[in-house]
Amino acid sequence: MTAQHRAYLDHASTTALRPEALQAYVAETARGAGNPSSLHSAGRRARVAVEESREALADLLGARPGEVVWTSGGTESDNLALTGLYRARRDADPRRRRIVLAATEHHAVLDCVEWLQAREDAVVSWVGVDATGRVDPAELAAVLADGTDVALVSLMWANNEVGTVQPVAAAAERAHAVGVPLHTDAVQAVGHLPVDFTASGADLLSLSAHKFGGPVGTGALLVRRGTTLVPLQQGGGQELGVRSGTLDAPGVRATAAALRAAVAALPGEAPRLAALRDRLLAGVSQVPGAVVRGAEPGPGRLPGNAHVTVEGCEGDSLTYLLDAAGVECSTGSACQAGVPQPSHVLLAMGLTPVQAAGALRFSLGWTSTEADVDAAVAALAPAVERARRASGSRAGRAHRRRPVLAGGS
């Protein structure tokens, strides 16, 4: 009996460690102990690994080495950017308490801003999106107004659920025109799209290594020279006092190796993944009631993202049924998995809660193959049929249990 083929199509959640990253991590670990802040030989050796990795990351992303701050990943990077910049701008000018956000941001941004609202008197202005999830820079400019009370703008580079790419450079230009800095959550973009920090105009950029084949628990925040942040944690004063804590030399070495491999492969990998995505979308769109969401295939959409909603189904039920059939995908953000509520991204795009309930996200990565795509296409229709049958059965049982009231109907 042959083993069932497992099709992993949840790379937007996390992707496999690249061989180059594993090799770099093992090699750095094998060199022995060494705290990058220590002055002895082992510490200096670890410091060399950190600084060489910093230079590599900066070169790959169009930044200066001094603009790279190592963090534990995307969530910390987002929180450091938003809270640190908000406090710095507010402290310099108490009028600056307004944060301008797109309605489709990741919860690492949304929940951080909600915390600032509740505890530090921040005010939020929302920028809407169109039916594909894209922000209109003109609407952003209108929300910014003269910018005198605005602390910052945050606009993600590419959406983690529907894959829509945002006009970051245009948004940064509009923000800078009224003296407001812009942060971009580029966690889904780095390693999957050409990303040039300097050319983008963004003042801060968040990234996470495990999205492009690096280790979990390592990331970075790019901070444009001259941008002031209030640190979130106090300690040894590492990373120019912006982010205290002992640095993980093997982790950052592996991160730089993974990004180098991802960027080098990008000219061939992006069209390969786009072709696989289009093959997947062509297949799943044949399922009755399945609707593709997000931007049209092309430069406005992540090459590996395929998002659909399926009428008459719950996304969680479909995910379990597909998993049983050997296909691993998600309903949207892995950070919100298991939460029984419709996606805020889809609601912002104009879907009803009922439509949004049937969401499925298939995301491809560097290990994805045609066999994975074909397995997903083959499994979806039977899964949808079973999910609808189960839903109808539950509805029928609920109807039969409903009490009949005297004098009513």
The residues annotated as belonging to the active site are: 335
pTM equals: 0.93
Q: Structurally, what CATH architecture does the domain formed by 7-14+267-393 represent?
A: Alpha-Beta Complex (3.90)
Positions of the chain with pLDDT lower than 50, given as ranges: 1, 395-409
Query: What is the per-residue pLDDT for 237?
Result: 86
Query: What is the per-residue pLDDT for 396?
Result: 42
Percent helix, strand and coil across the chain, each rounded to 5? 45, 15, 40
Domain chopping of the chain, boundaries: 7-14+267-393, 19-261
Burial zone of 93 (CB within 10 Å; 0-12 exposed, 13-18 middle, 19+ buried) = exposed
The CA distance from 19 to 139, in Å, is 44
Query: What is the per-residue pLDDT for 333?
Result: 56
Give the CATH number of domain 19-261; options: 3.40.640.10, 3.40.50.300, 1.10.287.610, 3.30.2230.10.
3.40.640.10
7: enclosing H helix or E strand: strand 7-8
For residues 94, 76, 365, 59, the Cα torsion angle rounded to the nearest 10 degrees is 80
For residues 114, 119, 123, 128, the Cα torsion angle rounded to the nearest 10 degrees is 0
Strand-pairing partners, residue 185, are 206
